[in-house]
Amino acid sequence: MPDRLCRVFKEFRKQVSVKILHRFRSIRTLIFSVCILSLLIMQLVLFMYYSRSKTMIVRNNRSNFQGLIEQMNESVQLNCSYLNGMVENIAYSRSVQSYLELDNATAIQNDHAAILNFIKPFAEIQSGIRDIAVIGLYGNVVNINLEEDVVRTIAQEIPEKTLWYYTGLHKMTINHHEDWLFTVGANVYSTTDFTNKAKIGTVLITFNMQSIFGFSRYQANDQYPEMLIFDRNQTLAYQNVAEGTSTDYSLYFNQAGNYLQTVQTFNGQTYYIETGSFDTLGGHIVFLITADELVQGLESTKRWTQAACLIALAIMLLLTFLSSNDIIRPIRQFVSYLNGVRQGDLRLLKVPIHLNGASELVLLADEFNRMMNELNDMNHRLVQTSMQLYESELAQKQAELNALYSQINPHFLFNTLEAIKGSAVDENAHDTFIMLTDLARLFRYAVREDKLVRLSAELDVISSYLALQKMRFGNELKYEYQIEPELLGQQIPKLLLQPLVENAVLHGMEQNGSVMIWLTGHRKGDKVLLEVRDNGAGIDEKRRQEIMRQLRQHRGNQHLGLYNTYNRLTNLYGKKGGLVIRQMQGQGFAVDIYLPWQPTPSAEA
């Protein structure tokens, strides 16, 4: 027996120790987690600072690039304007105009030397001009250096109705030396024949990059960062990066053929790219700088900051470990107290608990002792209150039972109606018998538990209702059914149409003293459309829209029949069911109902 008690005690102590250690680890883990979370927040702040600094550096770099692009664009625009003026001066000089209007081979040959002597001085005005050509429509070509076939081919690139046009780069041979050259050209029109506005020729000036950029295609330029210049055909015109750095220039374009303006990775290297366009020349300029070069000093600062955060975390964890005992020790004491209560030692509930440690835990023990004192008082009051509540509930149940006994049994009403019908037959009151029969059918239909009925059953009840009303109003009430036979088995909510028919009777008789009601129905695809219409005064469009808005906003207290019908349809069918009021001012009032097609061919209503 002592051995067994010893084993039980050891097992109990083991379980308690495991739970205490589990709680101990959980709290300490929570405190450590707070420290780690603090570090993560610091890292997040540092990351945001780093990202913001990086963004500012990128923004400043982009501004610098844009400034360089604007400077270069102004320079190119100025040089292009000079070339444009040169083209206009040649094209609309009197001698060139006269030459281009010649259509006689002899006259063309005679004026060839004069035109050549006229255009040569223009080529010597600005360095970089390699050729000037005047091309007529009758085989007359005058140029300085290029072959006539080359000149004619370039002239075909000049579009109609333009003052001047810059072609892309062409690889040309002049004096046995190959070079990549641009050409600016303009179609020439007669200055004497303004009526026909006919083209009489083309003037071309072929030049190298030196003429417009100030540096040659193969000239190194350390003034700018890595820079690429493309012509209008996306052909590389210039690069100041080392040869072979970028061999696939399609990397600088997206699928639509536009130049990239973002961060891209080429050959394992991340680049920040900024582009600009030369409006007159039709080309683009691309500046590139690697991410490493852009944030070179910022990365070093980032590494030192991360190291400092890790050291701070280690110090925080050590201090947390040393100071956590003031929290763990009283918690272990409190857990031991609760375990004793759970094991059935209720005497502990009457003994105050005292904790030593952090001030918050001492306050917790005081509040717990106060709560236990209040709980004992509350238990005493609860016993007394429970007895009073039981007696009150018993009286309430008895009252409800008496109320149930006082309710009228529907079978009693049916039996009473049947007795009255029998009396009407005995007294030969045929009309009274028919009215009681219709009334009994209406009442029996209203109290049945079915939520969905066949359309044929609803029409029978409506016929009984209209028959009762017709006994009252006589020939002043008329009605007509126009229902497709296949719809008679359609499932509809019980009493869906009867309130609408009742509204039509009441309002029609009230407004006109007589009324004609049409009840129609047809199928349209997977939907059934039912309509209740009368020949009353109707309503105007503004009133119709107001009623529909109230129905959609569930504010239909003034139109209870319409409101209930609309809510039943939307609640049962969702968006597949609904109600629409149609405007028929002066011709009556119409309500259209649509719901899903749900036939029950052989079911009994």
Pairwise CA distance, residues 102 & 200, whole Å: 9
Q: What pLDDT, on the 0 to 100 scale, is given for residue 403?
A: 35
Pairwise CA distance, residues 181 & 166, whole Å: 11
Q: Where are the beta strands (DSSP E) in 97-189?
A: 129-136, 141-143, 165-166, 170-174, 177-189
Pairwise CA distance, residues 79 & 336, whole Å: 93
The structure tokens listed for 132 are 């000037």
* 266 pLDDT tier (thresholds 50, 70, 90): low
Burial of residue 542 (CB within 10 Å: 0-12, 13-18, 19+) is exposed
The 3-class SS string of 399-427 reads: HHHHHHHHCCCHHHHHHHHHHHHHHHHHC
The tens digit of pLDDT for each residue in 538-562 reads: 788 888 888 888 888 776 566 677 8
Q: Kindly tell me if the per-residue pLDDT of 125 is higher than 50.
A: yes
Q: What percent of the chain has pLDDT over 90?
A: 8
Q: Kindly tell me if the per-residue pLDDT of 424 is higher than 90.
A: no
Pairwise CA distance, residues 218 & 241, whole Å: 11
The tens digit of pLDDT for each residue in 303-335 reads: 777 788 788 878 877 777 666 666 777 777 777
* 280 pLDDT tier (thresholds 50, 70, 90): confident
Q: Residues of CATH 3.30.450 domain(s) within the chain?
A: 92-213
In the predicted model, what is the mean pLDDT of the chain?
76
Q: What pLDDT, on the 0 to 100 scale, is given for residue 317?
A: 73
The tens digit of pLDDT for each residue in 339-390 reads: 777 777 767 666 777 777 667 767 777 777 778 777 767 777 776 777 656 6
Pairwise CA distance, residues 517 & 490, whole Å: 22
Q: Do the Cβ atoms of 130 and 145 come closer than 8 Å?
A: yes
Residue with tokens 């009021």: 581
Residue type, 116: L
Q: Kindly tell me if the per-residue pLDDT of 507 is higher than 50.
A: yes
Q: What pLDDT, on the 0 to 100 scale, is given for residue 251?
A: 59
Q: Kindly tell me if the per-residue pLDDT of 397 is higher than 60.
A: no
User: Rounded to an integer, what is the distance from CA 556 to the centroid of its chain?
Assistant: 34
* Least confidently predicted of 19-33, 207-221, 234-248, 487-501: 19-33
Sequence length of the chain is 605
Pairwise CA distance, residues 435 & 443, whole Å: 12
Which CATH number applies to 452-458+467-596? 3.30.565.10
| ∠ CA 287-289-293, rounded to 5° | 160
Q: Residues of CATH 3.30.565.10 domain(s) within the chain?
A: 452-458+467-596
Higher pLDDT, 187 or 583: 187
Read off the pLDDT of each residue in 270-294 and give the average, rounded to a whole number.
79
Q: How many CB atoms lie within 10 A of CB 488?
A: 18
**CATH domain 92-213 topology:** Beta-Lactamase (3.30.450)
